[in-house]
Amino acid sequence: MQFSANLGFLWNDLPLPDAIRAARKAGFDAVECHWPYAVPAAETAAALAETGLRMLGLNTRRGGPEDNGLLAVPGREAEARAAIDEAIAYAVATATSSVHAMAGVAEGARAHETYLENLRHACAQARPHGITILIEPLNPYDAPGYFLKNADQAAAIIAELNLPELRLMFDVYHQQITAGDICRSFERLLPVIGHVQMASVPARAHPDEGEVNYHTVLSHMRRLGWTRPVGAEYRTHGPTEETLGWMQAYSRI
């Protein structure tokens, strides 16, 4: 199994280009990030070229301090589309393969329609560049009121829009908290999954602790044909290097 270092959490004490270098040194196969916009895209691209790593994903901006994304928030369509365009431009400049389009805190029919329209815009902007648009349900403890509440809701939106650029971010941490039944859920949702992330549950720490048996989960994904890198998106307590004991065992899956 291959792994991607999510630099929103891993080595987040380093500037992004140095975090990319640290991930390469640690043996990761790829990287991904949250909000890279404070770093010029040319600097990020240079670090990726230097290390030979691919950037698999980045997020649209959250919005203001109280926001958690903008795409489903009625009345903020202009901001949402500016965030989408910014993310696509950064992805193009860094050869990043996907953009996580963050929905935000909202609910109801108007939020649903706003989300659909903004996702149509995101997919149209992504299409000429071969970029995937990812949507990710977040659990209610970490993201109260987030519009996208579970994987079935996300899959229904993907089916409704029927756009080839639009895929599901299957985050095992969020899925375990909201629904459980990880292996069956992954198998059922596999046709619409664009990326996979992992962390322990409930602490969101390194994946070789907690209630999810990742050896079983990753082995099941592998048997079903998943060969792309799985994103390690977990919180560290202390140096990232001291949390990577899981990599050797899981890399053999």
- Which positions are annotated as active-site residues? 136, 233
Cβ(242)–Cβ(234) below 8 Å:
no
State the Cα–Cα distance between residues 30 and 51, nearest whole angstrom.
10
Where do the DSSP E strands lie in 103-191?
A: 132-135, 166-171
What length does the chain have?
253
| DSSP alpha helix (H) spans, 70-150 | 77-94, 109-126
Give the C-alpha separation, 94 to 49, whole Å.
9
Rg (CA), the chain: 17
DSSP 49: H
Q: Are 107 and 115 in contact (CB under 8 A)?
A: no
Q: Position 23: which residue type?
A: A
